[in-house]
Structure 1
């Protein structure tokens, strides 16, 4: 067995008086998950935006200046999460946030382990808000597969989970866990990402983990309203639950949602499941190559 305990965050954004307040908050969250014997912690997309408050009210309220302020603290934030991963001996997907590289801005989430920083994933496909209002750029380095002591992990940031070929690519490369950090400001947006995360688990017969931001942050227009529920999903198949929902928190309820999964069940589902969606994926092109239009013959009067 390869049993691991995963903690997915429903994370509220706070106004921070100073950096020490941020350090104290993050340490408390990590310590809380560690007490639950979690091996892997998953923080949400744009969870780093609370760092905009360190620039003051005017900075946090301005889309451009807020990005610059959060990016200014990026290296310190990574050092904080790296140190906590080492100290507590666990794996952490840190909250994603904007990074600025020259004239380019990307939405980046970094993964840390007991030995330090493992790597990062940039969001691949931007939403309309990111493209048209916030001017966040898509990643250009492609998708990354993290080979860790827990198993092979890939990260699909929010909207990325709604595109099947992204998940398919990393799962064909060996991914067993799909981490889906998300940030959604409506119930509809949350359900779009939830549906994507569940569908990717079904298609690829693996585990997906959705983390969310919850609550209000009126002081920062980019993330002023946030809704969702943290959860872990699996295919509704042998060795999994009938609903495909391993564990789920309350809607808009902050805290960790924790569950233990056996990654050997991913192997079993893919090789001897009730259905074999992962194996049979390649049969689709042949069937979809030709679409035949069939006309209804109108009844004669």
Structure 2
């Protein structure tokens, strides 16, 4: 059992230093209040509503200042941090920008980086899609999966994380007011489908619907933030509840493989080979 926190914050567009100062303040507050795993919203460091050239100017590598700052903070506070950032990758003459998330363990170690695989609308003009690879990160607190915003609207990535042993899936997002109903449906559906916890970390203002939420393995919303205010959402993840939910609702044990030739292996090949 461990305590989690979702930092529901508003970002100042293109104000990297100001956003970092605010995020660090919130992370420290969450840790002081007992959170052991703390997540930030999608593209919090840059803001979401920027032109492609602005994302390109702000983007960093996974060894850049933003990730290193939070590695030091994770080690100092002894917490797991889930830190989105616009990531730059240079391969020879080619340069790609991704919507990425760094997962940092309690000792400051970078467990890995996940790149958003499914891009929504105008994101396709600014970012490259990450490959359809959905890793589970082993941390001191448990097995963590990440699905960024639009990623969690599709059942297959969420199921693949379950098949790989994810206990908590975190969804850093900039989820819009227009799509608020989908936010309220998709997160509980993914939690229930796969009988694990889901922590949705949304932003507020600038057209976002807020309502960060923690959902348990039965699809019940345990706690939900306001639709329009900056705040820290707190909750508890109890791994024993996953076992109990899977005994009551054995979706994973009774997965109907005959409906998909090759079952879960075919799904793995589809997602990882796309």
TM-score by length of 2: 0.85
Please state whether the residue corresponding to 1:82 is helix, strand or coil. Answer: helix
List per-residue Cα deviations over 1:45-77 (Å, max 9, x = no partner).
111214x9xxxxxxxx86122112221486111
Structure 2: stretches of 5+ with no match in the other structure:
261-274
Superposed displacement of residue 136, structure 1: 1.3
Partner of 1:127: helix, strand, or coil?
A: coil
Cα deviation, 1:260-298, whole Å, max 9, x if unaligned, reads: 12111112211x21x222322225717xxxxxxxxxxxx
- 8 Å contact from structure 1 (residues 107, 136) kept in 2: yes
Structure 1: which 5+ runs fail to align? 53-60, 217-224, 237-242, 287-301
Q: Which of 87, 92, 111 does residue 76 from structure 2 map onto?
A: 87
Contact map agreement 1:207 1:235 (CA 8 A) in 2: yes
Contact kept? 1:10, 1:252, Cα under 8 Å: no
> What's the offset of the Cα at 1:18?
7.2
Q: 1:256 to 1:79 in 2, by over 3 A?
A: same
- Tell whether 2:105 aligns with 1:113: yes
Is residue 252 of structure 1 aligned with residue 228 of structure 2?
yes
Q: Which has the larger share of helix?
A: 1
Equivalent of 1:125 in 118, 126, 138: 118
> Structure 2 CA distance, aligned partners of 1:24 and 1:226?
21
CA drift of 1:244 comes to 0.3
Aligned to 2:9: 11
Residues 228-270 of structure 1: CA deviation (Å, up to 9, x unaligned): 211101233xxxxxx7011111112211110112111112211
Q: Is the 8 A contact 2:55 2:126 kept in 1?
A: no
Aligned length: 256
Structure 1 residues 62, 37: closer, same or farther in 2, change over 3 A? closer
Q: Which residue pairs with 2:239 in the alignment?
A: 263
Q: Does 1:157 align with 2:148?
A: yes
| Separation of aligned partners in 1, 2:26 and 2:52 | 29
Alignment partner, residue 168 of structure 1: 159
Give the alignment's TM-score, normalised by structure 1: 0.78
The verdict on how the C-alpha distance between 1:123 and 1:23 changes in structure 2, with shifts beyond 3 A counting, is closer
Please give the alpha-carbon distance, in whole angstroms, between the structure 1 residues aligned to 2:204 and 2:106: 28
1:232 aligns with 2:214: yes
Closer/same/farther in 2, CA of residues 125 and 141 from structure 1, 3 Å limit: closer
